[in-house]
A and B are shown apart, each in its own frame.
Chain A
């Protein structure tokens, strides 16, 4: 069944073009320090997008994303440095390997009902972080792994901050478009059916266990790719990066932006990533402000910035157009 009434809205096209222009000119507008901030932010976007798929679309809450991010990063480092395989292959293996790991774990975890999956994901995060710290042959242990080479394809090497920006942004755009596509696909709809009414979903032929595991698998792919990009960009991996706190931060980002569309994940990530830089002098108080901000947000605008914006838009629109013209 196709959405026959979906037309290309000219306003939307102009808006998207403008947004794209702004994103592509960021390397020209900022110094290399801020560019690094943006690079990390786009990588973070991938992890937060995975939160959109799992929480926003499928209604399942996980605290393991930073762990999966780490798995992707360590796979990349090992494949490139120990096996000497090309970075592109490492990137693919990081995505697929982490995705497969998440899918298999999902199959075990989603036998648990309701919020017990969330508990299991907290356990997974803790175990993964423990492995990162102690499994020296694979992760370098407490010392970590240094000197991960930059991404390269043949003679083309992505070794400057600016080149990294375009490379990471390209991967982000591809992921974003694929998730948009997922939203309009039968698989995406089966995620949403499970989120809204699991029994109805089952009665419509949707296998809960398999579908939720696929959602977690997609989460794994996104985080794994993000991990690979991080490894290429930072060149140094430490267990202290892939922590439970980082997972919590991803959740805060998606809650702030809103879970009703993938753009919410991007909005939330960008605001928090940039805010952290702008209010650096207040760093000691940041945790307090996050906590307070989230509590207030959940009371005032539980749907996040996106939900609030949409409500405002509808209000403004209905005022512009009198109700009588709505009914035929």
Chain B
């Protein structure tokens, strides 16, 4: 399932000892990892481990207490959210944040607008691009003029991924893109992730659906109480005793 080799010469995004505390709760403790172009990097861990917080730190929605975040060698730790987006860091949300009074078209166009602001889009082929993405997302049947609330929850989540992809990002942060989706919709998420890797986008994937993570990620890091307890290939992580105790074992137990 995974796509070819990942060029590991220079990371696109680097986190170095990034920490965040909310009162007494440690949401991120010296989190350190590199993200390479064309790579799918999995971020897993039990609920409350600090996964979404980490995406908030990378996008600047939450400011980091300590540590350094660099994008293509540039320190972005102090930059506001919108500037980071314009530099190419784009995210989706656990619960889709759609523009609920707008139609489907406008919801998608704001993604393409970001590509325009980033000056990365070529004008010809924009329609083809949209068609390709909607096709991969299984959304070809929807009417672009429809109001957004005519879409199901799963369709809205897929649309959010399409919106992010339309901005042609360098880094794509996906916060549980498959949560609440049916099997068919999950397959569409996988197709979109694959396209992202083909286009050399660095993907950070938070997900609880283990098969999706294990089959699609090149590397995985496991977070527990804001602490990275293991990083490596899916196989390495799966057999790590601490990971099994903290997360996978618990999940397997719950599944039974």
Contact = CB atoms under 8 A, between A and B. Distances in A.
Contact of B106 (A4, A189, A200): A189
B90 interface: yes
Nearest to A4: B127
A197 B98 contact: yes
B25 to A, nearest CB: 21
Given A195-B101, A199-B61, A203-B61, A186 B127 contact: no
B50 interface: no
B141 A203 contact: no
A187 B90 CA distance: 19
Contacts of A206: 82, 85, 110
Given A1-B126, A204-B90, A207-B82, A186 B61 contact: no
A196 interface: yes
B190 interface: no
A202 interface: yes
Given A190-B113, A202-B82, A205-B86, A1 B102 contact: no
Interface residues of A, number: 25
A199 B114 CA distance: 15
B22 to A, nearest CB: 18
Interface string B28-41: 00000000000000
B208 interface: no
A192 B85 contact: no
A9 interface: no
Contacts, number: 87
A196 B86 contact: no
B244 interface: no
A201 B100 CA distance: 12
Given A186-B116, A202-B61, A204-B167, A1 B130 contact: yes
Interface in B111-161: 111-114, 116-118, 126-127, 130, 141, 144-145
Interface string A1-35: 11111000000000000000000000000000000
Contacts of B219: none
B133 to A, nearest CB: 11
Given A4-B127, A328-B141, A204 B101 contact: no
Interface string B78-120: 0011110110001101000111111001101111111011100
A193 interface: yes
A208 interface: yes
13 contacts: A3-B105, A5-B144, A192-B101, A196-B98, A196-B99, A196-B100, A199-B61, A199-B97, A200-B97, A203-B61, A206-B85, A206-B110, A260-B101
